[in-house]
Amino acid sequence: MRRAWEALLGQRARRRWLHLILGGAVFMPYWLVGTVVMGPFTDGGSMFTNSLAVQFGAYAVGLPLAALTALFPLTRPMSVAAARALCGVPPGRFAEGPARGRDAKARTAGWFTLHLGVGALVSGASLALPPFALAVAALPFSAELRTSELGRFWHLDRPWLAWAGLPLGLLLLLGLAAAAAATGALLASAAPRLLGPSPADRLAAAERRAAELAVRNRLARELHDSVGHALSAVTLQAGAARRVLDSGAARRALDADGDADADLGFVREALTAIEETTRRTVGELDAVLGLLRSGKDDGELTAPGLDALDALVRGTGSAVELTVRCDPAGLPEAVSREAYRIVQEGLTNAVRYARGETVTARIALSGDELEITMENPLTGTAPVARPDGGRGLRGIAERARLLGGTAEAGPVDDRWLLSARLPVGPAGGAR
């Protein structure tokens, strides 16, 4: 009993009924245009008449007009908003945005026409049937009603027969609720097919998700490379400064001729490198976090380029032989920026794994490509792209692919070799 009541007059059924009445209200202008068209066919030329034939004729004229106006792209967002709120269909089954393409517009027109058509019928019944049903149910209690045209029509003009009007009126109201519930369920079942995403909508959604993923990956690479390098460099410089201070204190304890000036000079250089590295990294971190806070996918990062390599090398705390055989100012901005990040990640790996050995870095133009080569002796475990979080080497490959280039990294004999080739032509300069 409770399930039957919920199906007929529960919250979902009431919302669907309201959705149908909304469709009937939207159909009214089309019906009025139809009555104007049907006016000449009525007696006396009046467009308002009680003739059911004329009213259904106006209804038939209004439906094609509704279908035509539903071809406008914005019809689908409005229809989806109403159906999502009132039809009880999961939101994920509706398409987003205006209807684009012939198929999407045709399905939207079909939904709009169906909604307005059945909504007009249910709305008309909802307005006319309850007063009629209440009058029929009141026949046992009113002699005037029994002797009226209503009582004679139902052959309930006698008092003992009029009691049949009470259950009959209730059945009419119950039938109206059942018809509204069934029609609402029909619309809800048709909504995903007619207002659901088309293949073009699914492709557009996939492209949006891919673009959002690309932005997130780009920001993740920037954070990993800038912050990871800074932490590695700062850790190395701080550790070296501590060792120098410890060894200098020990020498002075054993020998009064300990070279304190040299020790202090080294510590001063280490602290200066730490200061420069942290200041530069804080600026890069602010730029990345600014994009995250803005929530925009089209923002540009203010990242350093190859012209900032000298400061990068000073901050590593390792011996780096850097050779640059190109003009950084003449390179496309995107190529210079990504090349800087590739060199930065290479130095980060060298700081972690080369253990104080000299790192060789060469950057040169070869035809229409920028070649980056970095190598250092392997004195420890070679760096790897770890599935559980290591993203440095994977990030290098992704940066090169974004520009249409290639990147390789791996051990060669007893050395670690990183090489990358980035196009500098029109393809390489595009981001």
Q: Does domain 205-429 have CATH number 1.10.357.10?
A: no
pLDDT of the residue at 189: 93
User: For residue 21, what are its two tokens?
Assistant: 């009445």
* Sign of the CA dihedral with 300 first, then 306, 312, and 318 last: positive
Question: Confidence class of residue 329 from pLDDT cuts 50, 70 and 90?
Answer: confident
Residue 153 has pLDDT above 80, yes or no: no
- Considering only residues 55 and 248, tell me which one the structure prediction assigns the higher pLDDT: 55
Q: Average the pLDDT over each of 94-108, 179-193, 390-404 and give the range with the smallest value.
A: 390-404
- Is there a contact between 27 and 120 (Cβ–Cβ < 8 Å)? yes
Nearest to 139 by CA among 114, 170, 185: 170
At 41 the pLDDT is 67
Residue 431 reports pLDDT greater than 50: no
What local confidence, expressed as pLDDT, does residue 27 receive?
Answer: 95
Domain ranges of the chain: 2-197, 205-429
pLDDT value at residue 386 = 45
Q: Which of 72-86, 286-300, 311-325, 329-343 has the lowest mean pLDDT?
A: 286-300
Give the separation between CA 48 and CA 314, rounded to whole angstroms: 90
pLDDT of residue 198: 76
Structure tokens at 63: 């439906």
When computed from its CA atoms, the radius of gyration of the chain, rounded to whole angstroms, is 39
Question: What is the average pLDDT score of the chain?
Answer: 79
What is the pLDDT averaged over residues 372-391?
64
DSSP 383-414: P---TTS--HHHHHHHHHHHTT-EEEEEEETT
Whether pLDDT at 240 is above 80: no
Q: How many CB atoms lie within 10 A of CB 256?
A: 7
The pTM score is 0.54
3-class state of residue 215 by DSSP:
helix
CA distance 154 to 283: 87
Question: Is the separation of the CB atoms in 22 and 46 below 8 Å?
Answer: no
- Lookup: tokens for 247: 């060894």
Q: Can you tell me the distance from the alpha carbon of 34 to that of 114, in angstroms, rounded to the nearest whole number?
A: 17
Q: Of 44-48, 53-57, 109-113, where does mean pLDDT reach its minimum?
A: 44-48
Q: Kindly tell me the sign of the dihedral angle through the C-alpha atoms of 142, 143, 148, 150.
A: positive
Q: To which residue do tokens 């019944």 refer?
A: 125
User: Is the four-CA dihedral 315, 320, 326, 331 of positive or negative sign?
Assistant: negative
Residue 246: CB atoms within 10 Å: 11
| pLDDT tier at 390, thresholds 50, 70, 90 | very low
Asked if 187 contacts 87 with a C-beta cutoff of 8 angstroms, the reply is yes
Q: Which two tokens stand for residue 196?
A: 């659901």
Backbone angles phi, psi at 10, to 5 degrees: -70, 175
The pLDDT tens digits of the residues spanning 103-150 come to 889 999 999 999 999 999 999 999 999 998 998 888 888 888 777 887
Average pLDDT over every residue of 21-47: 81
Three-state secondary structure call for residue 324: strand
Q: Which residues pair with 324 in a beta bridge?
A: 363
68's CB contacts (< 8 A; 6+ apart) are 109
**For residue 109, what pLDDT is reported?**
93
Tokens 């245009």, residue? 33
The CB density around residue 108, as the number of other CB atoms within 10 Å, is 28
Residue bearing the bigger pLDDT, 234 or 47: 234
Instruction: Say what the pLDDT of residue 338 is.
Output: 86
Structure token digits, residue 7: 């199906």
Q: Output the six-digit token pair for 138.
A: 């009141």
* Residue 344: both structure tokens together: 């930065």
136 three-state secondary structure: helix
The answer, yes or no, to whether residue 227 has pLDDT greater than 80, is no
CB-CB contact of 58 with 31 (8 Å): yes
Query: How would you write 107-127 as a 3-class SS string?
Result: HHHHHHHHHHHHHHHHHHHHH
* Spatial contact of 351 and 316, defined as CB atoms under 8 Å apart: yes
Q: What is the percentage of the chain residues whose pLDDT exceeds 70? A: 67
352: left (phi over 0), alpha (psi -120 to 50) or beta: alpha
Q: Count how many Cα atoms sit within 13 Å of the Cα of residue 7 in the half-sphere of its side chain.
A: 11
Question: Is residue 165 a contact partner of residue 136, using CB atoms and an 8 Å limit?
Answer: yes
Query: 33-46 in b/e burial notation, b at 16+ Cβ within 10 A?
Result: ebbeebbeebeeee
